[in-house]
Amino acid sequence: MSIPYVYDAGVLIAIDTNQRRMWAIHHLAIQEGRRIIVPTIVVAQAWRNPRRQVNLGRFLHSCEVTPVGVEVAKAAGVLCGKAGTRDVVDATVVTMALTCGAIVFTSDPDDLRHLASTAAAKPGLVIRTVWRPPPMQ
């Protein structure tokens, strides 16, 4: 059985902007039969215009878009409190990944590493950086 993947919004943005490296990672994951999880809150963070995000919409059909239940939401809130952060989306990604023993793919590894270290789960969370978006102007 292969280790699942959890994608954050950076992955969805990479797909939406046609970053080839992320497409390759995703296609390989599908070929390997991996479970690919995208929390619904991550979709909300990346989804802006359905007319322009047709490829992203198609991509999401190849993922397990998972609702965030009340227990995960509570755990993510507690994690934010312990870590002294406010990004509930990142905390949700970390919480879901730790719950199912997944590898996280992100464009924001520093914040996720801080949250994961605060969670102090054993074994530690594996985080892979897919790309870095250009700095905001």
- Rounded Cα distance between 57 and 52, Å, is 10
Task: Dig out the tokens for 136 from the structure.
Answer: 């905001």
Give the type of residue at 57.
G
**Residue-range domain boundaries for the chain:** 5-129
CB within 8 Å of 62: residues ≥ 6 apart: 26, 30, 36
Checking if the pLDDT of 120 tops 90, the result is no
CATH class of 5-129: alpha beta
Checking if the pLDDT of 122 tops 80, the result is no
With CA atoms as reference, report the closest residue to 88 among 115, 64, 106. 115
Checking if the pLDDT of 131 tops 80, the result is no
How much is the pTM? 0.90
Checking if the pLDDT of 1 tops 90, the result is no
Phi, psi of 92 (to 5 degrees): -65, -45
Q: What is the average pLDDT score of the chain?
A: 92
Residue with tokens 């199912």: 100
Q: How confident is the model over 47-104, as pLDDT tens digits?
A: 998 889 999 999 999 999 999 999 999 999 999 999 999 999 999 999 999 999 999 9
Confidence class for position 135, pLDDT limits 50, 70, 90: low
Q: Cα 129 to the chain's mean position, in Å?
A: 11
